[in-house]
Amino acid sequence: MTAGKGIVHSERSPAEERAIGPKLYGMQTWLALPDGREEIDPAFEAVNDLPVIEDQCAKATIIMGELWGKRATTTTYADTIYAEIVLAPTGSLPIEVSADERAVMLVGGEASVDGQALGLYELSVLAPGRNMMLSSDRGGRIMLLGGEAFSTPRHAWWNFVSSDKERIRQASEDWKAGRFPKVPGDAEEYIPLP
């Protein structure tokens, strides 16, 4: 989903499904748009043919951008890396210098970068300009993310991200005043500003 100048969506499951239905295991990631593209039209696309790179000890699913010569078809507006990496016990792979900024997050099992243990659900920013080794003794699931550095900082508050704090304030006022459109089929539930 590309939020651009503003989009609404619903992520709720019906109550009866929440009580007895399947459990969802996932990660929501927000990728800021680059300078000059923050106010583009919003869009949504479903991508189901993600490239996979694997060997006996590691499997990487590329969600956005390019990694090790393979590219996801997901639309991006800046150089991006976003991949799920599953390491088998004693698995390892190099994290090469392929982006201005890189980070990893352990989301299951255990893993380390250059011998430094990763904490579960902690974002670990990797040293710039250095090849590093991701490894696991007992197996792990790790998210790799990164991309080009922007020249201006980004600010986030609640569901709003922008390089302009005034734009976030205006979006907050628009949400509070009901100026965003309703989600089709979900108009009865409104989430107020925190």
Domain ranges for the chain? 52-147
Summarize pLDDT for 84-114 with one digit per residue, the tens.
999 999 999 988 877 889 999 999 999 999 9
Question: In this model, does residue 115 exceed pLDDT 90?
Answer: yes
CATH architecture of 52-147: Sandwich (2.60)
* Beta-strand runs (E) in the chain: 52-54, 58-67, 70-71, 80-87, 92-95, 101-109, 112-113, 116-117, 123-125, 132-135, 140-147, 155-157, 160-162
Instruction: Note the pTM of the prediction, 2 decimals.
Output: 0.86
Q: How far apart are CA 126 and CA 97, in angstroms?
A: 10
Tokens 């907050």 -> residue: 172
> Could you tell me which residues are beta bridge partners of residue 53?
60
Q: What pLDDT shows up at residue 118?
A: 98
Q: What pLDDT shows up at residue 1?
A: 87
Summarize pLDDT for 30-78 with one digit per residue, the tens.
888 999 999 999 998 988 899 999 988 999 999 999 988 899 999 999 9
Amino acid occupying residue 104: V
- DSSP classification of residue 24: P
Count CB atoms within 10 A of the CB of residue 146.
23
